[in-house]
Amino acid sequence: MSRQKKRDIQDLGRLLIIDRIIHEPARLMILAYLSAVESADFIFLLNQTRLTQGNLSFHLSKLEESHYAAIKKKFVGKRPHTMLSITEKGRKALKEYLKTMKGLIDSLVDS
Amino acid sequence: MEQLNIKTLEKKAFRSFFKDGIYDVFLGLILLSLGLPFMLNEFGWINYETITMPLLIPIIINAGALIFFIFCKKYITVPRLGIVHFGKPRKRKMMHVKLLLAISVLIGVITFLLSLLKVFPVGGTTGIPLPFIIFGIQALLVFSFMAYFMDFTRLYFYAFLFAVSMPLTFWLKKNAILTYPSLYVFSLTAGPMLVIGWILFVRFLRQYPNKAKAEGLR
């Protein structure tokens, strides 16, 4: 096996260590939007991501479980209001994920 | 693979609030309010001997436009598009916009007061009174900067429409090209803003149903 091929396989091995929480397209999209703003509510994310209500709730719960997103619930009048924001951990994880993916894609495209 | 650009996402998110056409209608009403006294004067319904009517009409329409703007944003746009708090770079940009508007209002008030004191020369080579040239330049600069800071592309076009409205009216009046110059000029400048605004507004209402109300979300 050539040295180049071995290096390519080692590079591809990095695929196994990528963050699977962020790797899911819907969650990546949610995190990307949350990283672009300070905070946003459920309706805003629903419109921007075009996900269904159930889907968005599910992925937000996953992100909250991983401490990548913070969910604050409060009442405005009689209505519950949910504000969402990306946590510092989430921001770091997103940055790391993008860096890893970019490196992987670049190495695949180059080889 | 399309590059994931956070800045572009932020811009897209911010610009989504201009989809409702309310800014367009608001600006159209403001320009119309400035032109209405001239139109009514041309029809012979009001005169400039007393300053009350020419001042009162824009104030009433502007107040109405402001109420319309606040009401629509609060009860129509926000429930449909949601609430979002933008980051520091956007807040800084919006601070620039507020500062620009404050300076613009200040210049407007000073120009108006000086014109009341008849400090500015009347006529000149172009026949356009100096306050209206100042208004045109100011509108062009302020709205263009606002368009830049707010990433609101249509505002460049509106800056041009605001800028040409008053000087063009006076130029047409001086050269007696049209019978009712204000009517034509303000229909062609405020008109497109109002039409674009209403089209966008109707499209927005169709595109974005009130999900919060329908599904009890928030």
- pLDDT, averaged in runs of 10, over chain B (218 residues): 72 92 95 89 76 81 94 92 92 94 90 79 68 88 94 95 89 80 91 96 92 58
Q: How many A-B residue pairs are in contact by the CB < 8 A criterion?
A: 77
Residue A9 is assigned to a structural domain of this protein: no
Residue A78 is assigned to a structural domain of this protein: yes
d(CA A92, CA B123): 64
Is B6 close to A35, i.e. CB distance below 8 A?
yes
CATH no. for residue A58? 1.10.10.10
Residues of A in contact with B210 (CB under 8 A): none
Assigned token pair, A11: 């590079």
Assigned token pair, B162: 């605001």
Residue A73 is assigned to a structural domain of this protein: yes
Nearest to B4 by CA among A103, A1, A98, A89: A98
Residue A105 is assigned to a structural domain of this protein: yes
- What is the span of the domain harbouring residue A92? 21-110
Nearest CB to A33: which of B13, B87, B88? B13
Number of domains in chain A: 1
First to last CA, chain A: 15
Residue B25 near residue B193, CB atoms below 8 Å: yes
pLDDT for A86 beyond 90: yes
Q: What is the pLDDT of residue B203?
A: 96
Q: What is the pLDDT of residue B198?
A: 96
Q: What is the pLDDT of residue B2?
A: 45
What does pTM read for this prediction?
Answer: 0.83
Is A36 close to B9, i.e. CB distance below 8 A?
yes
CA nearest to B16 within chain A: A48
**ipTM given for this complex:** 0.80
Residue A98 is assigned to a structural domain of this protein: yes
pLDDT for A109 beyond 80: no
Q: What is the mean pLDDT of residues A65-82?
A: 85
B211 Cβ contact list (under 8 Å, min separation 6): A43, A46, A53, B80, B217
- The CA-atom distances, in angstroms, between B216 and each of A43, A51, A54 are 11, 17, 13
Higher pLDDT, A53 or B173: A53
Residue A38 is assigned to a structural domain of this protein: yes
Higher pLDDT, A105 or A58: A58
Q: What is the pLDDT of residues A33-50, one digit of tens each?
A: 999 999 999 999 999 999
Q: What is the mean pLDDT of residues A95-111?
A: 82
Nearest CB to A98: which of B4, B16, B211? B4
Is A46 close to B82, i.e. CB distance below 8 A?
yes
Residue A41 is assigned to a structural domain of this protein: yes
Is B218 close to A42, i.e. CB distance below 8 A?
yes
Is B83 close to A40, i.e. CB distance below 8 A?
yes
Q: What is the mean pLDDT of residues A60-86?
A: 88
Q: What is the pLDDT of residue B1?
A: 40
Residue B131 near residue B169, CB atoms below 8 Å: no
Higher pLDDT, A55 or B177: A55
Residue B85 near residue A37, CB atoms below 8 Å: yes
Q: What is the pLDDT of residue A26?
A: 95
Residue A89 is assigned to a structural domain of this protein: yes
CA nearest to B209 within chain A: A47
